[in-house]
């Protein structure tokens, strides 16, 4: 199947497309081992060039895309501080910048602080756009790597009880992953969050419409033993009224050794990173803690997507 712009996770509704992405991702993961040079980008005669255009820093995501492109034998031009494009002149539009960068590159990875920016970019760009986060909007490659990690670790992306822990209101990662999972079969969601950071109602409405089981306001201790996946995100202090409000609840959202005791042997703990106190480092060696593998999987997902888009 042909991929062009990747703007939102809803483009991956079709199971065949997901399967194709995941199958290529697995081959990318074993590239060093198999030495399969057909996975690399072909020259034509020059190498393909990816531009990373980041309006806010996200070094982790940028390096992941850049490493993916380089592993494929492609090239990078990079800007970590894209506001400089318009620093000499207030008000160059995103559209103008995209048109210019598109003339220098074969594909643009865009990170921007405004929801909808990736969509706007895709409407004017003569080269494919990949959304690497558009403010409170989406970050589709993160959601795909999350789902791929579940598939790889558990062998399936259906018949799952999934706990989502932390800031469920503002985490675009959570929203996109819930949407992707909701399109698989027999998924149950358990939402675990402080009251002011509950999953948004547009998502619960969507789940009800699709007749998908979910439970809000879960207590981590009550449900930990039934979960197949525990997806953890940070609680940001800034989201709370004051320090007292934060301190009052934060303890209930820590995946500590006690929680580990209650999890099933094959439950997988995911986290988009960076983490803070919600995942104490003394659980890192537990085989159920797969968040560093998850970060690595981001590399392979992006290699697969770049290959599919560019060839």
Residue 113's CB: how many other CB atoms inside 10 A? 13
Bridge partner residues of 77 (DSSP): 51
Closest separation between CB of residue 45 and its own copies, Å? 4
Nearer to its own copies, 97 or 141 (CB): 97
- Helices 291-310 and 59-71, packing angle to 10 deg: 50
Total H helices, total E strands in the chain? 12, 9
188 vs 296, which CB is nearer to its own copies? 296
Nearer to its own copies by Cβ, of 101 and 168: the residue is 101
Beta strands in 67-172 (DSSP E): 75-79, 107-112, 129-134, 160-165
- Could you say which of 61, 97, 233, 267 is catalytic? 61
Between 20 and 80, whose beta carbon lies closer to its own copies? 80
- Closest approach, Cβ 66 to its own copies, in A, equals 5
Distance CA 106, CA 93 (A): 21
**Residue 40 DSSP code:** S
CB burial of residue 252 (10 Å; 0-12, 13-18, 19+) = middle
What residue ranges bind its own copies (CB under 8 A)?
31-32, 35-37, 40, 44-47, 49, 51, 57-60, 63-64, 66-67, 70-73, 75-82, 84-93, 95-97, 99-101, 103-105, 234, 236, 273-276, 281, 292, 295-296, 299
- Between CA 15 and CA 9 the distance in angstroms is 13
Give CA angle at 222 (256, 272), nearest 5°.
45
224: tokens are 């930990």
Closer by beta carbon to its own copies, 255 or else 299: 299
CA-angle at 211, arms to 162 and 143, nearest 5° = 40
Among residues 161, 142, 129, the alpha carbon closest in space to that of 225 is found at 161
Query: How near is the Cβ of 150 to its own copies at its closest, in Å?
Result: 18
**Known active-site residue 288:** no
User: Of the listed 62, 71, 139, 152, which one is catalytic?
Assistant: 139
Nearer to its own copies, 150 or 299 (CB): 299
Min dist CB 218 to its own copies, Å, is 24
Which of 14, 60, 208, 257 is the catalytic position? 60
Known catalytic residue: 59? Answer: no
Would residue 90 show up in a list of annotated catalytic residues for this protein? yes
Catalytic residue, from 48, 71, 111, 268: name it: 111
- Concerning whether 60 is annotated as a catalytic residue, the answer is yes
Catalytic-residue membership of 112: no
For residue 92, give the 3-state DSSP assignment.
coil
Element (H, E) at 50: strand 49-54
Distance of closest approach, residue 96 Cβ to its own copies, in angstroms: 6
- Pairwise CA distance, residues 129 & 108, whole Å: 5
What residues contact residue 290 under an 8 Å CB cut-off, 6+ apart?
149, 153, 268, 269, 270
CB of 139 to its own copies, least distance (A): 13
Query: What positions carry a catalytic annotation?
Result: 60-61, 90, 111, 139
């Amino acid at each position: 199947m042909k991929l062009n712009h990747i703007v939102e996770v809803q483009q991956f509704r079709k199971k065949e497309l997901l399967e194709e992405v995941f199958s290529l991702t697995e081959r990318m993961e074993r590239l060093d081992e198999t030495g399969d040079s057909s996975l690399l980008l072909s020259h034509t005669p020059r190498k393909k060039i990816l531009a990373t255009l980041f309006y806010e820093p996200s070094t982790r995501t940028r390096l992941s895309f850049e490493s993916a492109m380089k592993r494929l034998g492609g090239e990078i031009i990079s800007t970590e501080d894209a506001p400089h494009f318009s620093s000499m002149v207030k008000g160059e539009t995103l559209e103008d910048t995209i048109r210019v960068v598109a003339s220098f590159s074969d594909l643009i990875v865009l990170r921007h602080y405004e929801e909808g920016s990736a969509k706007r970019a895709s409407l004017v760009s003569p080269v494919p756009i990949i959304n690497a986060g558009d403010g409170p909007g989406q970050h589709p490659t993160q959601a795909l790597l999350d789902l791929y990690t579940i598939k790889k670790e558990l062998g399936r992306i259906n018949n799952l009880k999934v706990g989502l822990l932390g800031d469920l209101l503002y985490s675009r990662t959570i929203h996109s992953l819930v949407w992707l999972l909701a399109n698989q079969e027999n998924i149950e969601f358990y939402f675990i969050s402080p009251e002011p950071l509950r999953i948004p109602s547009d998502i619960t409405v969507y789940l009800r419409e699709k007749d998908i089981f979910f439970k809000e306001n879960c207590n981590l201790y009550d449900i930990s033993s039934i979960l197949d996946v525990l997806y953890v995100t940070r609680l940001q202090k800034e989201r709370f009224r004051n320090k007292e409000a934060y301190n009052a609840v934060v303890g209930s959202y820590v995946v500590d050794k006690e929680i580990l005791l209650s999890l099933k042997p094959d439950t997988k703990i995911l986290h988009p990173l960076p983490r803070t106190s919600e995942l104490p480092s003394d659980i890192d060696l537990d085989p159920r803690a797969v968040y560093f593998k998850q970060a690595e999987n981001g590399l392979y997902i992006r290699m697969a997507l770049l290959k599919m888009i560019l060839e």
